[in-house]
Structure 1
Amino acid sequence: MKKMMLGVMVMCALVLAGCGGQRGTLIAAGGSMHDENGEVHRYILQGTSGTIGVVTTASGDGEGAFTSKKDGFAKWAPGREVVDIGLRENAPERADDPAVVALIERCDVLFFTGGDQKRIVEVFRPKAGEGEKSRRDSAAYHAVIRLLNRGGTVAGTSAGAAMMGDVMFHSGQIEPSVKYWGGLADVQKANVRENFATTGLFDIADKGTLKLGTGMGLVHNCIVDSHFAERKRLGRLEIALDITGQDWGIGVNENRAVKIDRATGKVETIGGMDEVATAVRRDPPASWKLPGHVHFTLGQTPVAK
């Protein structure tokens, strides 16, 4: 129970950094989400009754990804309209198309499919000039924020979850990343941190080493990772926090999810009583494995129910 309480307190602080003055719900699923997973789907649809928008920007096969997810929602939301937002990597200019914005405005749920999270940011927050910090927010991006702030839900799996923080992983294998970071002297690490603070990008072009850049900024001061336990990603998340200065990380396991209410700070891990997610703190370094059905409300004494 003590370990559970610590884990809940960590999650409480994690979301506290991002919930002030904001509304809406985030559902971050850890990838490999089964259409038969009724629990996660019910949380995605909870409190909504309108149009469901599917964002397949991360996928290399947008039409196929939409058809697959539309069929998945048909089981859990019969009769509800499911639309393809239609933003693809090969037509990023459509993120400023009034018709796309109007389509997002019709929705009260957006679901971001898996694939490559870099594609999501390249379309929704394209570069206006040179460098990572030149990114601008497209009209479609502003529509996503408005959807949240009117009480809607943004859900995503795999890449669709990994894009949620201010900073996100572009890629990165565990062993090369740990070897690289462990081989640096303290002064070299300090230089890496300073460079990231200046450029907003970490990419040393070494094969397999983690790469970090701008995320969608739906939750602040937190890096989200997916496929977490299955791909043993704790090490790379710890390094990412060290490089970027983000205070918290949350790694979500496959076919499991985490719900974040941006208005109240209420957090819930979604899944069975086995391990659902891992919360990671940068300073002092620590991590906590969290089972399913952990509930609490920010501002009150955290209690594991």
Structure 2
Amino acid sequence: MPSPDIKGQQRGFVIPIGGAEEKIDNPEILKKFVELCGGSEADICIVPTASQLEDTGERYQKLFTDLGAGNTHWLPISDRNDAKKEEYVTQLEGCTGIFITGGNQLRLSTILGGTPIAQTIRKLNAQGVHVAGTSAGAAIVSQHMITGGNTGIVPTEDGVNLAPGLGLINTIVVDQHFNERNRLSRLLSAVSYNPFLLGLGLDEDTAAFIDGDNEFTVVGSGAITVIDPSDIEHSSMAEARSGDALTLLNLKLHILANGSRYNINDRKAFIE
């Protein structure tokens, strides 16, 4: 299920970022996130769990501070016991924005999945707190999380590995470092399982700012590839053997660059 609706409240933005976001010369994505969270009044909590680098939390803390965030802090969550600590939950509950760093998405799912920290992130997003994630942090925002798969163009029966994500949105599946790592085949494989899912392939330094009405704006220097299987006429996934190429008929694909918009509910792309 997506973050539960709360009567009278608008869900916070969900912001998957394709990784390698610009941090120095023109940090457009990070700057927009800070402004959205309140600028000088922002309280941003960083979750660096996916990364195994000791300084990841501190580096993003400095970045957000330099971009004008009023208060920044990070949670040193490295195992499931950490993800159950009441003091970390309390720190989350006071924030206006949550940022999940890159690294290994299976570290995120195995450490955070089902814990008070994961439950609190979902609750806060439903209450209006904005949640951004880069690279692995982008993959986990959806209910179905891509954890690996084949590179290339042609989808195959065994072309993608999936695991449960945070479920902030349940109608999309996100892939990151998309064109840079040639990941079209694995995103096509993911949406071939069920046309309910919309595939979002995010290039590096590119983000989808998804608002509470499930409409997003593209921000960044790359593009977002949207794969819409809602009108698919046939998928051979059910009959395919391991390694077989898939037949997918009547898929719709959009390439959306900076400033383009897309309504997830209506499955419609448009420009300003």
TM-score, normalised by the number of residues in structure 2: 0.81
- Aligned residues of 2:112 and 2:118 also touching (Cα < 8 A): yes
Cα deviation digits, residues 9-54 of structure 1 (max 9, x gap): xxxxxxxx96883611111110111212332012212142232111
**Residues 171 and 149 of structure 1: is their aligned pair in 2 closer, same or farther, counting only changes over 3 Å?**
same
**Residues 296 and 238 of structure 1: is their aligned pair in 2 closer, same or farther, counting only changes over 3 Å?**
closer
The equivalent of 1:266 in structure 2 is: 215
1:86 aligns with 2:76: yes
For 2:261 and 2:156, the matched residues in 1 are separated by 38
Q: Does the residue aligned with 2:55 lie in a helix, a strand or coil?
A: helix
After TM superposition, the structure 1 = structure 2 runs for residues 227-238 of structure 1, keeping only pairs within 5 Å, are 227-238=177-188
The equivalent of 1:242 in structure 2 is: 192
Partner of residue 278 from structure 1, selected from 208, 218, 225: 225
**Residues 142 and 211 of structure 1: is their aligned pair in 2 closer, same or farther, counting only changes over 3 Å?**
same
- Aligned residues of 2:46 and 2:99 also touching (Cα < 8 A): yes
The equivalent of 1:31 in structure 2 is: 19
For 2:167 and 2:2, the matched residues in 1 are separated by 9
Cα deviation digits, residues 145-179 of structure 1 (max 9, x gap): 2221221111111001011111111112315x957
- Aligned residues of 2:109 and 2:165 also touching (Cα < 8 A): yes
Partner of residue 43 from structure 2, selected from 31, 51, 54: 51
Q: Which runs of 5+ in 1 are unaligned?
A: 1-16, 126-136, 182-203
Q: Does the residue aligned with 2:193 lie in a helix, a strand or coil?
A: helix
After TM superposition, the structure 1 = structure 2 runs for residues 213-228 of structure 1, keeping only pairs within 5 Å, are 213-228=163-178
The equivalent of 2:139 in structure 1 is: 162
1:68 aligns with 2:34: no
**CA-based RMSD:** 2.6
Q: Does the residue aligned with 1:72 lie in a helix, a strand or coil?
A: helix
Q: Does the residue aligned with 1:277 lie in a helix, a strand or coil?
A: strand
Q: Does the residue aligned with 2:109 lie in a helix, a strand or coil?
A: helix
Q: Higher helix fraction: Structure 1 or Structure 2?
A: 1
Q: How many residues align?
A: 244
Q: Does the residue aligned with 2:132 lie in a helix, a strand or coil?
A: strand
TM-score, normalised by the number of residues in structure 1: 0.73
Cα deviation digits, residues 210-251 of structure 1 (max 9, x gap): 321111111112100101111121111001111355421101
For 1:43 and 1:32, the matched residues in 2 are separated by 16
Letter aligned with residue 260 of structure 1: I
Q: Which has the higher contact order (CA 8 A, sep 6+)?
A: 1
- Aligned residues of 1:163 and 1:215 also touching (Cα < 8 A): yes
Give identity over the alignment, percent: 26
For 2:177 and 2:186, the matched residues in 1 are separated by 12
Cα deviation digits, residues 88-147 of structure 1 (max 9, x gap): 1xx21221221111011121111111001111111221xxxxxxxxxxx22111211222
Q: Does the residue aligned with 1:28 lie in a helix, a strand or coil?
A: strand
For 1:31 and 1:296, the matched residues in 2 are separated by 20
